[in-house]
Chains A and B, each alone.
Chain A
Amino acid sequence: MTTKTEAKEIIKTENVNLYYGERKALHGINLNFRENEITALIGPSGCGKSTYLRCLNRMNDLIPNITITGSFTLNGHNIYGPKEDTVQLRKEVGMVFQQPNPFPFSVYDNVTFGLKLAGIKDKKTLDERVEESLKQAAIWNEVKDKLHKSALSFSGGQQQRICIARLLAIQPDVILLDEPTSALDPISSQMIEDTLLNIKDKYTIIIVTHNMSQASRISDKTAFMLNGHLMEVGDTKKMFLTPDKQETSDYLNGKFG
């Protein structure tokens, strides 16, 4: 896919190979992501979606014996460069995990966590950012009277939206979501999908999902992975209606997966 368009490609990855010890988990992946688009990563379990996603904010660095080759750039600069500051990178490329993982603190302390790391102490600024982020994550109405209650006292779907708010508070450029709704009920999932659609004009979103209808509902682009290879990537509509590859069509039709 090399169609030229106006939208800027914010993340570019080229020839990505990744080994867990001796085992190769990613095979020469070339994939770019455009600003203000939602890209869905789909593929059967174990094909390397999470592995690839974690490369983008270097969360893989925490895994021992991992080897990553290839080129990764964010806004043109190499995120695996020798002087790269991973702490700064993760503020620009944020992540939402499969299991909601709010800290066992109050909602307020969760959402202000990243801001306080950045040294912001002014109460008014913090309050404003909290309200704004919780509103963006479509959870404000449910928590506005309970900001000082533990985030763990909310339902899974609410916790996940609190986690999204916690991330939005630090205003990253890119948001990575690894199956953010797989632990949630349909209504909570729906709310998170709406949230993503609402914020997409300000962010670049990459979402791993096993839910095909979710991918088709919210994403602009879809990338299909299989056994560590990128099989196909393109506009979601086209991909779901007329995929180029037989494997893609088989997967989308539930023949395996």
Chain B
Amino acid sequence: MNEIKEKLLKPSKETHQDQIGHLISLVCIGFIGILVVAILFFITTKGLATFTTNHVSVIDFFAKSDWSPSQKGPNGKPEVGALAMIVTSFAVTLLSAILATPFAIAMALFMTEIAPKRGQKILQPVIELLVGIPSVVYGFIGLMVLIPMVRTVFGGTGSGILPATIVLFVMVLPTITSMSVDALKAVPRDYRSAALSLGATRWQMMYKVVLRAATPGILTAMIFGMARAFGEALAVQMVIGNAVLMPTSLTSPTATLTSQLTTQMGNTIMGTLPNNALWTLALVLLVMSLVFNVIVKLIGKRSAFKK
């Protein structure tokens, strides 16, 4: 009897496994946590160095658009104004998302409401394919096909916001579409029968009930698309023109935060102003991605049919 009792009271092998498993996952989480904090800390301190160590004015950084951190400007100081890049980044992001969303909604409606079977069969693989294409390929097509076309039609160099928007449109389309599909699928079937039983046509049912109920989800999809567009570097860099100038038209060469980072990061020395200025651009990108996340959370909270 005592033997059994002893065995029962002693921690078993399984309890040890449990504890070890617990420990391993804690260590992993701790490691990732430290990593994230380190990255945030590093980018933040480096990014702020422009203002603290190099005494660039924060206002100038956000309000001026002359960018030559490695040369002395007319007033004897290097110019570090990122406004042109910020404007261009937002312009390509907004334009591509606004352009892509109607197409994404149309495709999502087709795949969920109009012809779910055929839609899933044909459009699903298309979307997956679009997601799978590496961004350098999109950039390459943009550079080789789009830019000559833009040049022929609009003149100039052919690079700028327009080709970048078109490239990003294709790149964010699958993101927005597949998330819109999820949003539409999450609308309870009950609403559809309710609408039809009140004498709505199928189109009215989709337009006035399903889309309306799915609006928060579709907005979230749009924000995710915008986050993707805002952060895309390579493809944009290949078609944007890479001249840090305030865009004067949709086809004037300019630069985004990301394109400036990718083109310049090999050309600066750690610890110098030109390098710190790039870190500041990275910090702006980081903050923006946080903002996108916060917006998504806020929309999620007000989602219509989650009571």
- Chain B residues, CB < 8 A from A99: 190
CB-CB under 8 A from A118, the residues of chain B are 199
Closest Cβ of chain A to B50, distance in Å, is: 47
Whether A117 touches B198, Cβ cut-off 8 Å, given contacts A104-B191, A104-B305, is yes
**Contact residues in A for B193 (Cβ distance below 8 Å):** 59, 62, 97, 101
B77 within 8 A of A: no
Query: How far, in Å, is A129 (CB) from chain B's closest CB?
Result: 14
What's the least CB distance linking A149 to chain B, in Å?
Answer: 12
Q: Given the complex, which residues of A lie within 8 Å of B197, measured CB to CB?
A: 57, 59, 90, 94-95, 97
B174 to chain A, nearest CB (A): 28
CB–CB A91/B199 < 8 A:
yes
- Which B167-201 residues have C-beta < 8 A from chain A? 188, 190-191, 193-201
Is B199 a contact of A88 with CB atoms below 8 Å? Answer: yes
Is the CB–CB distance between B198 and A101 below 8 Å?
no
Q: How far is the CB of B216 from chain A (nearest CB, A)?
A: 10
B304 within 8 Å of A by Cβ? yes
Give the chain B neighbours of A166 by CB distance below 8 A.
198
Give every chain A residue within 8 A of B196 (Cβ-Cβ).
59, 62, 90
Q: Is A163 an interface residue (CB 8 A)?
A: yes
Chain B residues lying within 8 Å of A104, measured Cβ to Cβ, are 191, 213, 304-305
Does B121 belong to the interface (CB within 8 Å)? Answer: no
B307 close to chain A: CB less than 8 A: yes
Partner of B194 from A57, A97, A170 at Cβ < 8 Å: A97
Q: How far is the CA of A149 from the CA of B25 in the complex (A)?
A: 45
Interface residues on chain A, size class: 20 to 34
* Segment from B134-142, B204-212, B235-243, B250-258 that makes contact with A: B204-212
Assess whether A167 is in contact with B213, with CB atoms less than 8 Å apart: no
- Which residues on B sit within 8 Å (CB–CB) of A113? 195, 198, 200, 208
Are B198 and A91 in contact, CB atoms less than 8 angstroms apart? Answer: yes
| CB within 8 Å of B: which A103-155 residues | 103-105, 113-114, 116-118, 150, 152-153
Q: Cβ of B305 and Cβ of A101 under 8 Å apart?
A: no
A103-B191, A103-B213, A105-B212 as given contacts; A117 in contact with B307, CB under 8 Å: no
Known: A59-B193, A97-B194, A103-B194. A114 touches B199 (CB 8 A): yes
A101 to B199, CA, bound (A): 15
Distance, CA A237 to CA B304, complexed state (A): 46
A105 to B305 alpha-carbon distance, docked (Å): 9
Min CB–CB distance A180 → chain B (angstroms): 13
Residue A87 CB within 8 A of the other chain? yes
Which of A87, A105, A150 interacts with B200 by CB under 8 Å? A87
Residues of the B chain whose Cβ atoms lie less than 8 Å from the Cβ of A91: 198-199
Contacts of B195 in A (CB 8 A): 103, 113
Docked-complex contact A94 and B198, CB < 8 angstroms = yes
Tell me which of B188, B194, B199, B208 contacts A87 (CB under 8 A): B199
Q: Which residue of B lies closest to A109 (CB)?
A: B212
Complex interface: chain A residues within 8 A of B212 (CB): 103, 105
Cα distance A97–B195 in the bound complex, in angstroms = 12
What's the nearest-Cβ distance from chain A to residue B306, in Å?
A: 9
What B residues does A117 contact at CB under 8 A? 198-200, 204, 208
Which residue from chain A places its CB closest to the CB of B188 in the assembled complex?
A: A101
Q: Chain A contacts of B194 at CB under 8 A?
A: 97, 101-103, 163
Are B190 and A97 in contact (CB-based, < 8 A)? yes
| Assembly CA distance A105 to B215 (angstroms) | 12
Q: Which residues, 253 to 307 on B, are CB-close (under 8 Å) to A?
A: 304-305, 307
Check if B199 sits within 8 Å of A103, measured CB to CB: no
CA distance A97 to B200 in the complex (A): 16
Which single residue of chain A is at the shortest CB-CB distance from B202?
A87
Q: Which residues of the partner chain A approach B201 to less than 8 Å between Cβ atoms?
A: 87
Question: Smallest distance from the beta carbon of B94 to chain A beta carbons, Å?
Answer: 28
> Which residues of A sit under 8 angstroms from B199, Cβ to Cβ?
87-88, 90-91, 114, 117-118, 170
Chain A residues within an 8 Å CB radius of B305: 104, 152
Task: Return A121 CB to nearest CB of chain B, in Å.
Answer: 14
Query: Using a CB-CB cutoff of 8 Å, which residues 53-86 of chain A contact chain B?
Result: 57, 59, 62
Inter-chain CA distance A217–B231, complex, in Å, is: 66
CB nearest to A152 among chain B residues: B307
Report the bound CA distance from A126 to B9 in whole Å: 73
* A residues apposed to B, CB below 8 Å: 57, 59, 62, 87-88, 90-91, 94-95, 97, 99, 101-105, 113-114, 116-118, 150, 152-153, 163, 166-167, 170
A/B interface sample: 18 pairs, CB < 8 A = A59-B197, A87-B199, A87-B200, A90-B197, A90-B198, A95-B197, A97-B193, A101-B193, A103-B213, A104-B191, A104-B304, A105-B304, A114-B199, A117-B199, A117-B200, A150-B304, A152-B307, A166-B198
Further 6 A-B residue pairs, CB within 8 A, beyond A87-B199, A90-B196, A94-B197: A90-B197, A90-B199, A99-B190, A103-B194, A117-B204, A153-B307
